[in-house]
Amino acid sequence: MQNLLPPLLILLVVAAVVVFVLRAGARRSRESLEGALSGGPTAAAAASARLNEAQHRAVYSLIARGLTVQAIAAYREATGSGLVEARNAVILLDRYPQAFRSAGNAPTPEDRRAPEQAAAPQECAPPEQPAAPEQPPAVARGGAAEASAKPARSAEGAPSAGAGRAGGSGEGGPERFPYRYRAIVSNGRQTLEVASNMLNDEIYNEIKSLARIGDAEDAAQMLQRHSDISIEDARAFVALL
């Protein structure tokens, strides 16, 4: 029995060291992720800028399908970054979707702003020349906007087929918010984007809920009412939800 005591003590010491190292590593990893997320859309834009167009499309295709581990591996291979750095970058790209921009078309601070964080009105013309509300771009087909957002979870139910509650579709049309909301979807082969100042999280989640319960036409009509795209483009977007 006494002969077994030294090996047992050594085993306990080794186990304690392993546990300590694992906990320290987990703490450093958590702190690294919190630091990366504190950078918000600006950090996401910087992570996106390290990818060329094909790499950007590949990473977002994996993110859109929920293949986070594969997305991290693809980002590491594309940029040569470490595991933790690549993980932070993928989480940032997932949380703050970034459309691909070439080196000569860098994102502006307005573009980097996340929809849920955008609260200030967009820049307007001088008072004597009031500017009309900015018209969002139509849905981009086949890679014009190469980012894709992973579908958010929403409660399964049948929302009203009318305009979104937060959108306010009275006689004057849907409410226009002081920021553009960007919705991006991808199936790995095709990426589509809608940017509109008549969308927000609540309205977009209703559109997704309608699509998921089979009311694709109602979802397309609701998306068309809350954006400046055609009904055909709205149907193509809903088909990817």
* pLDDT (0 to 100) of residue 198: 92
Do 86 and 169 fall into the same domain? no
Average of per-residue pLDDT across 162-171: 41
* pLDDT (0 to 100) of residue 121: 39
Report the domain count for the chain: 2
Better pLDDT: 74 or 135: 74
Could you report the per-residue pLDDT of 171-214, keeping only the tens digit for each?
A: 567 889 888 899 998 888 889 999 999 999 999 999 988 888 88
End-to-end CA separation in angstroms for the chain: 66
Helix (H, G, I), strand (E, B) or coil at 207: helix
The answer as to whether 224 is a domain residue is yes
Q: How confident is the model at residue 143 (pLDDT cuts 50, 70, 90)?
A: very low
Euclidean distance between CA atoms 162 and 167, whole angstroms: 10
Do 138 and 226 fall into the same domain? yes
Helix (H, G, I), strand (E, B) or coil at 108: coil
Burial letters for 191-205: b for 16+ Cβ neighbours within 10 Å, e otherwise? Answer: bbbbbbbbbbeebbb
DSSP string, 169-230: -BTTBSPPPSS-EEEEEE-SS-EEEEEETT--HHHHHHHHHHHHTT-HHHHHHHHHHTSSS-
Return the H-helix or E-strand segment holding 192.
strand 191-196
Do 141 and 208 fall into the same domain? yes
Full domain range(s) for residue 155: 134-239
Spatial CB neighbours of 181, under 8 Å, sequence gap ≥ 6: 115, 195, 196, 197, 199, 200, 201, 204
Q: How confident is the model at residue 19 (pLDDT cuts 50, 70, 90)?
A: confident
Do 138 and 89 fall into the same domain? no
The answer as to whether 24 is a domain residue is yes
The answer as to whether 195 is a domain residue is yes
Spatial CB neighbours of 172, under 8 Å, sequence gap ≥ 6: none
Q: How confident is the model at residue 75 (pLDDT cuts 50, 70, 90)?
A: very high
Average of per-residue pLDDT across 59-83: 92
Do 161 and 215 fall into the same domain? yes
The answer as to whether 210 is a domain residue is yes
Could you report the per-residue pLDDT of 84-135, keeping only the tens digit for each?
A: 999 999 999 998 999 887 665 555 554 444 444 433 334 444 444 444 444 4
Do 143 and 225 fall into the same domain? yes
The answer as to whether 220 is a domain residue is yes
User: For the whole model, what pTM was predicted?
Assistant: 0.38
Do 227 and 138 fall into the same domain? yes
Q: What is the DSSP letter of 214?
A: T
The answer as to whether 155 is a domain residue is yes
Return the H-helix or E-strand segment holding 69.
helix 68-79
